[in-house]
Structure formats: structure tokens, C-alpha cells
């Protein structure tokens, strides 16, 4: 795992404010990505497997990790959360929403427990040919953290084609804008889970964002989803 102090966090935060997403280059190295993929079939790590078609979530499969998380995932959650909490607090402040997010991950997790949200939400996803993920928001209870992360575990054009990460941004009383990103193996993308503030002439308004994955044409695509809030079930 890359040194978490390496990214230029000022520009990451600026991108989050301006666009609602930001990238982190090469957060994991190739071996770390390969290791996570290699453990996909090892049931000891997971609490639940979701076959996406069954819920009409798309086509593909994902698995929720169980606690304790693999050390690298625990480290990602603990080290990235405090970098994002100030952004989350700024968003909620300008939108006059809810209580502040604590500075450290352990405190946020304790807050999740008071909402009955105790189950891990980190997941690994696998899509084959035709695989896709319909546009959604990852909410697992009343308490949510407004930014999450996806890690790209294999290489587009080499390991798979198609399968772009897609976001939509819904501005009040307007149609949705689509944003498509393609990342390299080991890169991470931080993005808005639910909504974010955008400044208008009469102050800040709320822009809703959803995300999904376009159809994989060939090969297999693996990602790791790091959501910071825990789930009710």
C-alpha cells in the first residue's frame, strides 16, 4: 500500500469539492491487487455473497468481507477516513445536515454502532462478460459517510474491455449528467456516496450522485469497494 501521505490531499479535496470525485494513483501495487483477487474464492474472508441478477442489481457477483477485515483493508479504511472527514464536515455544514463526522475512523465506527450499524460493508466485486452494475447509492442505514472509494484490481484493455465506472450527477430540476472514468490497476477513485453541495446564486444546493459500471465486453473485471459506514444487516 502506498504511503498515504503521498497523494496531494489539497488537490484531492479540491477535486471532491468541484466535481464530487477524485483519483488516487497507484494506491495498491500489482501484488496487492493480485492477492485480493486470489483470495476471492476463499470463503473465510466473507460474510455474504450477492448474485447481482437475483436482486436486479445488474450482472455479476460480489462478496462482503467479515470482521476482522484483512489488514490491508483495515489500514485503507483507517488511513483514508481522516483525510476525508474534513470534506464530509464541510459538505454537511453548508447543507445544514446532521451531526459532524468524528476525526478518526474508530470514533466514526463507534457512532455507526449507536445506529445499530455493525456489519462490514467493504466488498469485492467480480464481473464477467456482459457484467454490469446498475446505478445506485450505497446506503446501509440512517448513518452514512458521504464519500467512498473504489479500487481497480485489474487492468482495463488487458484483463477486460468495457466495464467503465460511471457516475451520474442529478442537479435539481435538470436531467442527469453522466461521468465516465477509466483507471489503471492499483488506482483508487474517491466519489460521492449520496449527495454533495454545489454553490449557486442563492447559496449551496444539493446534487445527488449515483454510480455503476457499464457492460463488460470481454474478460473479467475485479474491484474492491471501500465504504466507510457499517451496515444494519
Distance CA 232, CA 113 (A): 9
Nearer to Fe ion, 60 or 219 (CB): 60
Q: Does 213 bind ligand AKG (CB under 6 A)?
A: yes
Which residue of this chain has its Cβ atom nearest to ligand AKG in the complex? 225
Widest CA span in the chain: 53
- Spell out the residues 6+ positions from residue 222 whose beta carbon is closer than 8 angstroms to its own: 33, 36, 37, 40, 124, 125, 126, 127, 153, 154
CB nearer ligand AKG, residue 138 or residue 230: 138
What residues numbered 96-155 form the site for ligand AKG, per CB under 6 A?
Answer: 125, 133, 138, 150
Q: Which residues contact 137 (CB under 8 A, 6 or more apart)?
A: 193, 194, 209, 210, 211
Residues 14-73 that bind ligand AKG (CB under 6 A): none
The listed partner (ligand AKG, Fe ion, none) that binds 165, CB under 5 to 8 Å by sort, is ligand AKG
Q: How far is the C-alpha of 8 from the C-alpha of 11, rounded, in Å?
A: 6
State the sign of the Cα–Cα–Cα–Cα dihedral 39, 162, 182, 19: negative
- Binds 223: which of Fe ion, ligand AKG, none (CB < 5-8 Å by kind): ligand AKG
CA distances from 12 to 71, 142, 148 (A): 25, 27, 13
Residue 94 or 139 having the CB closest to Fe ion: 139
CB of 227 to Fe ion, least distance (A): 8
Q: Is 167 near ligand AKG (CB under 6 A)?
A: no
Smaller CB separation from Fe ion, 47 or 199: 47
Question: Which cell numbers hold the place of 115?
Answer: 445506529
Using CB under 6 A as the criterion, which residues of the chain lie in contact with ligand AKG when the complex forms?
A: 125, 133, 138, 150, 165, 211, 213, 223, 225
Using CB under 5 A as the criterion, which residues of the chain lie in contact with Fe ion when the complex forms?
A: 138
Amino acid at each position: 500500500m502506498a504511503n498515504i501521505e503521498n497523494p496531494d490531499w489539497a488537490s484531492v479535496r479540491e477535486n471532491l469539492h468541484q466535481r464530487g470525485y477524485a483519483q488516487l494513483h497507484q494506491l495498491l501495487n500489482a501484488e496487492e491487487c493480485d492477492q485480493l483477487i486470489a483470495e476471492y474464492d476463499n470463503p473465510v474472508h466473507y460474510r455474504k455473497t450477492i448474485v447481482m441478477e437475483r436482486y436486479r442489481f445488474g450482472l455479476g457477483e460480489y462478496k462482503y468481507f467479515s470482521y476482522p477485515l484483512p489488514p490491508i483493508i483495515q489500514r485503507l479504511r483507517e488511513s483514508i477516513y481522516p483525510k476525508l472527514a474534513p470534506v464530509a464536515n464541510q459538505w454537511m455544514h453548508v447543507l445544514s445536515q446532521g451531526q459532524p463526522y468524528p476525526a478518526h475512523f474508530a470514533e466514526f465506527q463507534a457512532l455507526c454502532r449507536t445506529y445499530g450499524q455493525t456489519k462490514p460493508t467493504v466488498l469485492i466485486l467480480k464481473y464477467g462478460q456482459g457484467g454490469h452494475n446498475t446505478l445506485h447509492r450505497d446506503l446501509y442505514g440512517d448513518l452514512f459517510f458521504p464519500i467512498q472509494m473504489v479500487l481497480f484490481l485489474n487492468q482495463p484493455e488487458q484483463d477486460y474491455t468495457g466495464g467503465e465506472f460511471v457516475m451520474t450527477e442529478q442537479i435539481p430540476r435538470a436531467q442527469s449528467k453522466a461521468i465516465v472514468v477509466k483507471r489503471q490497476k492499483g488506482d483508487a477513485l474517491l466519489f460521492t456516496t449520496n449527495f454533495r453541495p454545489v454553490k449557486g446564486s442563492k447559496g449551496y444546493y444539493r446534487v445527488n450522485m449515483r454510480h455503476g459500471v457499464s457492460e463488460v465486453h470481454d474478460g473479467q473485471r475485479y474491484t474492491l469497494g471501500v465504504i466507510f459506514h457499517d451496515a444494519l444487516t
